[in-house]
Structure 1
Amino acid sequence: MSALNGQKVLVVEDETITGLMLEQILAEAGAKVIGPATTVQQALDLLKTHTPAVATLDFNLGGELSTEVANALDAMHVPFLLASAYSGLSHMDLPAAAGVVGKPYSPESFIAAVIAVLAKRKD
């Protein structure tokens, strides 16, 4: 049984193909996917009606940084995985319940990173 079995995962990704790929990878791992949201506002709107167990965030959403979504998730005590092609993200001031995975990543490494971040969740 997958560690993601039944867990709600918010996906925030502006590239449609990548978002659909993440949705499929997570669903195959047993997660219930919320989204994918392609903008900061869509993600914030989803958070008004859904409380995910964990979230995955693309750092740059069509030129808009996902910092506001990260702050909202942190306020909700929802751990998140920041997925980005940017280097140097490990130097950002991220909450303790956050992780970073660099693009490109394999489905296996992505799921492992989501599981690791989910393990940091404060219930």
Structure 2
Amino acid sequence: MHRLRDRCVLIVEDESLVGMEIEFAVTDLGAKSLGPAVSIDEAMRLIAQEGNGIDAAVLDVDLNGEEVFPVANRLKELGIPFLFHTGNANLDDLRTDYEGAPICVKPTPPEKLLEQIRDLLFEE
């Protein structure tokens, strides 16, 4: 697996244990973790601060009853690849509206998320 050294991964996740698990997995491979952001507002602030310094993102779809799509749309505008990490989203809608964005259904082992992040960053 490619190491993620010198990469920045935005984590948007409202479940603290899941967010920490993703954060630890990402930083164990040498990446910088941004977040976990627990709300759309917090994620948008981090994007505004870091801008194009973000290399990829992991997005939980449901953030305390709010859908993460404004964040996904902003990342898409900036050309930053992302994946969805969800337990209850309509997968057909995600595939249609965000074609090409990987979808990891919760619970997803950290190593599977890392594999998907790696694929986002190192697409041939």
TM-score, L = length of structure 1: 0.89
CA distance in 1, matches of 2:78, 2:99: 12
Task: Report whether the alignment pairs 1:55 with 2:57.
Answer: yes
CA distance in 2, matches of 1:2, 1:68: 30
What is the deviation of 1:6?
1.4
Aligned residue number for residue 17 of structure 1: 17
What is the deviation of 1:91?
4.0
After superposition, residues 30-45 of structure 1 pair within 5 angstroms as 30-45=30-45
3-state secondary structure, aligned to 1:35: strand
What is the deviation of 1:87?
5.5
5+ residue gaps, structure 2, are none
TM-score, L = length of structure 2: 0.88
Which stretches of structure 1, 4 residues or longer, exceed 4 Å deviation after superposition? none
What is the deviation of 1:86?
2.2
1:64 maps to which of 49, 52, 66: 66
CA distance in 2, matches of 1:90, 1:3: 32
CA distance in 1, matches of 2:118, 2:3: 7
Cα 1:68/1:87, change in 2 over 3 Å: closer
Higher helix share: 2
5+ residue gaps, structure 1, are none
Percent identical pairs in the alignment equals 32
The amino acid that maps onto 1:116 is D
